Amino acid sequence: METEVKNQHVMRYWDLLKDLSDSDKFELGLMLMESVKSSFSAPKNDEDWWVKEMWKEPVKPYTMDEINARIDQSEREMAAGLGQDSEEMFREIEEEFLREEAEYELENEMAEAV
């Protein structure tokens, strides 16, 4: 799956997430959708490009057979050593956040020292 990301900050996280199994990506997608569902109104400016992209095609709900097939596929991928489990993914994201926070604090300390 080729994904176009317009924000380089987001792209850094995509690099961590792209190797997740399909079921973990699906779960993460549901979590993200839930966290931003109040933003699903009409785009107010160009920064809301993602809302426009999201609604280009009508959303089709998955059937239980499709969901179970995705879960089965993801389980096969994990058994074959492909992908990454959610615990590992969240650990890497947390490490990235901590790294960015440390960089930000260092920049502030350097700016104050000048």
Q: Decide if 13 is inside a domain.
A: yes
Q: Is the model more confident about 41 or about 51?
A: 51
Number of domains making up the chain: 1
Residue 6 above 80 pLDDT?
A: no
Confidence band, pLDDT 50/70/90 cuts, at residue 98:
very high
Give the pLDDT score at 1. 46
> What domain range is 106 assigned to?
1-33+63-114
Neighbours of 98 (CB within 10 A): 10
Q: Decide if 40 is inside a domain.
A: no
- Cα-trace Rg, the chain: 18
Q: Is the model more confident about 16 or about 44?
A: 16
Q: What is the pLDDT of residues 50-82, one digit of tens each?
A: 666 776 777 778 899 999 999 999 889 888 988
Query: Residue 94 is encoded by which pair of tokens?
Result: 């947390």
Q: Decide if 54 is inside a domain.
A: no
Q: Decide if 12 is inside a domain.
A: yes
Helix (H) or strand (E) holding 83: none
Percent of the chain past pLDDT 90, that is, above it, reads 19
Q: Decide if 71 is inside a domain.
A: yes
Q: Decide if 5 is inside a domain.
A: yes
Give the pLDDT score at 61. 84
Give the pLDDT score at 83. 79
